Amino acid sequence: MKPEYTFPDTHISLAHGNGGRMMRELIDQLFARHLKNELLDTRTDAALIPLALNSGDVVITTDGFTVEPLEFPGGNIGSLAVHGTVNDLAVSGATPLYLTLNVFIEEGLEIAVLDRIIQSMAKTCLECGVKIVAGDTKVLRRGQGGGIYFATTGIGIRDPRLNLGMDRIKSGDAILLSGTAGDHGTAVLLAREQFGLSGNLKSDAASVFAITQALIETPGLRFMRDPTRGGIATIAHEIARATDNAVRFYENRIPINDQVRAVAEMLGYDPLYMACEGRVLAVIDAAHAETAIRNLQNLGYFDAAIIGRIEAGHAHALIETMLGGERILQELEDDPLPRIC
């Protein structure tokens, strides 16, 4: 039996970021060992990536990831960083291909924790069909970081014929959500075991590429976004401002997990403002909305639903309640759950 690999140190020290032997060991024996692919060369300062420029438009995104705790039911900051970057490309209509990774590690972090996180990141890259091709590592003094932070850049290719954007949204369009709202924010909250609460709810963190591809193949697609920080309510406000139309949600149509609803009611949170990390909110021509829902449900996204519509009128977001009334969805001010993604 092959002996289990052991790293020579147990915790991160400032020396792991000084450019010397210990930093080289950290990069080569931990990061490169898990993330290795034919394009990742830790000896160079830039990666050469094969992009067939005649195959489509190049799409690029960048993101940062801070979550507490670093590991939570359904994922950790490593898998979250890959999913988050891939999803930003996917909802833009692109096929994700390459990532770069900047790592900011706090002095004192256990090597065993870092090893699990990088293993998870490597596994998620494989599942999502992307490669990490370049990166950088910094070590922060104890007390100056939250264990570990990631900053990523993602590169993908999009069909130049694809035309998506808020400028294409029209009055009468339908609003779709691919699954339950607020799972990630609630799962992270429960993992902190604050307020005496705990539970078995898992984060919804996952790639949305299959969802976006199914939606792209449906006629009448106008716009897609993954509702991370600020949830679906924040996207509603963005759409209202950009289009000068009203965004109306139907409370009885929005899929919400029972645990999410219970936690929100106990603590005074609103699931519409809580983060998702594996959902897509899309706007589509109402004539094709039911087809889009059927296509998603045929792929196994059984909670996908039409949750609202775009209406002519003043630029605001509102929700039609289960009792038949309506209330304005206020724009998010305070952050009820810091460090969730």
User: What is the average pLDDT value for the chain, to the nearest integer?
Assistant: 93
The per-residue pLDDT for 235 is: 97
Span 35-73, pLDDT tens digits: 999 999 988 889 988 887 778 999 999 999 999 999 999
Domain 166-328, CATH homologous superfamily name and number: PurM-like C-terminal domain (3.90.650.10)
Question: What pLDDT is attached to residue 43?
Answer: 86
- Strand order, beta sheet including 317-320: 221-225, 281-284, 174-177, 305-311, 246-250, 317-320, 326-328
Percent of the chain's residues with pLDDT above 70: 97
Instruction: Kindly report the three-state secondary structure assignment for every residue of 78-125.
Output: HHHHHHHHHHHHHCCCEEEEEEEEEEEEECCCEHHHHHHHHHHHHHHH
Amino acid (one-letter) located at 122: A
pLDDT of residue 318: 96
Q: What is the mean pLDDT of residues 314-334?
A: 91
CA distances from 71 to 113, 147, 243, 292 (A): 9, 11, 39, 34
- Report the C-alpha gap between 59 and 96 in whole angstroms: 9
Q: Could you tell me the pLDDT band of residue 2, with boundaries at 50, 70 and 90?
A: very low
Report the C-alpha gap between 28 and 30 in whole angstroms.
Answer: 6
Q: What is the Cα–Cα distance from 283 to 19, expressed in whole angstroms?
A: 48
Task: Choose among 333, 286, 276: nearest CA to 309.
Answer: 286
Cα–Cα distance list, 50 to 45, 100, 162, 222 (Å): 17, 15, 22, 30
pLDDT at 50: 85
Q: What is the dihedral sign for C-alpha 79, 80, 85, 87?
A: positive
| Res 247 pLDDT > 50 | yes
pLDDT at 336: 67
**Does position 141 have pLDDT exceeding 90, yes or no?**
yes
Confidence check: pLDDT of 166 > 90: yes
Give the pair of three-digit tokens for residue 243: 């289009």
Provide the b/e sequence for 92-129 (b: ≥16 CB within 10 Å). bbbbbbbbbbbbbbbbbbebebbbebbbbbbebbeebe
pLDDT above 90 as % of the chain:
83
- All structural domains of the chain with their residue ranges: 14-158, 166-328
**Backbone φ, ψ for residue 102 (5° rounding):** -110, 130
The terminus-to-terminus CA distance of the chain in angstroms comes to 39
State residue 5's pLDDT score. 60
Confidence of residue 3 (pLDDT cuts 50, 70, 90): very low
pLDDT of 183 reads 97
- Find out whether 224 and 210 touch, Cβ atoms under 8 Å: no
Give me the DSSP letters along 290-307.
HHHHHHHHHTT-TT-EEE
Q: How many CB atoms lie within 10 A of CB 207?
A: 20
Higher pLDDT pick, 212 / 2: 212
Residue 249 · residue 177 · CB < 8 Å: no
Confidence (pLDDT) at 80: 98
pLDDT of residue 294: 97
CA pair distance 233, 228, nearest whole angstrom:
11
User: Tell me: the pLDDT tens digits for 250-292?
Assistant: 999 999 999 999 999 988 899 999 999 999 999 999 999 999 9
Mean pLDDT of 108-133: 97
Neighbours of 10 (CB within 10 A): 10
Report d(CA 276, CA 228) in Å as an integer. Answer: 5
In the CATH scheme, what architecture does the domain 14-158 have? 2-Layer Sandwich (3.30)
Mean pLDDT for 169-177 is: 98
